[in-house]
Amino acid sequence: MASLDIFVDQYINYLVFEKGLSEKSIESYSSDLSNYLEFLKQKGIKDITQTDTPLILKHMIALRESGLGSKSCARHLITLRGFYKFLAQEKILEFDPAKLIDLPKSGLKLPDVLSVSEINLLLNIPDSNKPLGKRNSAMLELLYAAGLRVSELVNLKFLDVNLEACFVRVMGKGSKERIVPFGLFARNKIDDYINNSRPLLLKNRISQYLFVARAGKPMTRQGFWKLLKQYVKQAGIRKKVTPHSFRHSFASHLLEGGADLRTVQVMLGHVDISSTQIYTHVARDHLRQIHEKYHPRG
């Protein structure tokens, strides 16, 4: 098993030093691969070249039969696909045996995606005549406009946002920096907040953070989550809505509008495009509806 362990170590080092994945992600990949190596050991496999597509499928079936949920099984498959892709790229294997295995359709369940009308309804709830309303409105607009994680939103520095060029610099998972554009709606809301609300909230204090609370301290995830729940209730939306729902909606609406998957991957900051592929079913549903509505034989 020594050679198998060495290849796993090489892949983990690749994820750490070249991909810059977070510690939590590395732990997940390591756990999945350790599980896979134990499976290979039970099958008497000592050389990675002895593995093939049917063997990987047997491992996936064994995981499912052990009671592992669909989402966890899909995560294991994502891990193995990344591992084998790496082995093929490094010429350790002549071909990638995991490439032919698709993710199960129900493997990665996408939380409720808000419709465009529901997004618009929520974005119009904050009272833009009040300082806190201006701040909250700007936060909601930027969250949706740039597809940010809530942690990225509340940790934004004042200098991270370029209103003239309409882009925001984000430090994502694994300390990966990305640049994401946003539109005029978000720019106008942020500009209004900076000029007419932020100074009132700071009260002569200085803060490096863009979004601040009453005492001049940065907004917290909990604080934003609390105000979002209030707005969802006011809007009468019955879906389960979290700050991450805006990120899911951002990706889904882009794909529905015709954006390619690679572009959405870059804006979301996903290292592996398989993480972005969970949104494609939304686009497929939309395309099917368009076909049924407009095609003469739909």
pLDDT tens column, 239-280:
888 888 898 888 888 877 777 767 777 788 765 555 555 555
In degrees and rounded to multiples of 5, residue 126 shows phi and psi of: -60, 140
- Residue numbers annotated as active site: 149, 173, 244, 247, 270, 279
Residue 148: both structure tokens together:
């940010």
pLDDT in tens, 93-115: 988 988 877 765 544 455 567 88
How many angstroms separate the CA atoms of 56 and 74, rounded?
A: 13
How many other CB atoms are there within 10 angstroms of residue 164's CB atom? 6
Instruction: Write the burial class of residue 72 (CB in 10 Å: 0-12 exposed, 13-18 middle, 19+ buried).
Output: middle
b vs e for 241-271, b when ≥16 Cβ sit within 10 Å of the residue's Cβ?
bbbebbbbbbbbbbbbeeeebeebbebbbbb
To the question of pTM greater than 0.85 for the whole model, the response is no
Distance of CA 268 to the CA centre of its chain: 6
* CATH class of domain segment(s) 2-89: mainly alpha
Q: Which residue spans of the chain are classified as CATH 1.10.150?
A: 2-89
Low-confidence ranges of the chain (pLDDT < 70): 1-2, 103-112, 174, 261, 270-298
Residue 127: both structure tokens together:
């009272």
Report pLDDT for 285.
Answer: 54
Q: Which of 262, 288, 252 has the alpha carbon at shortest distance from 147?
A: 252
In contact, 155 and 148? CB cutoff 8 Å: no
116-289 has which CATH code?
1.10.443.10
Residue 87: both structure tokens together:
């082995």
How many angstroms separate the CA atoms of 146 and 249, rounded?
A: 11
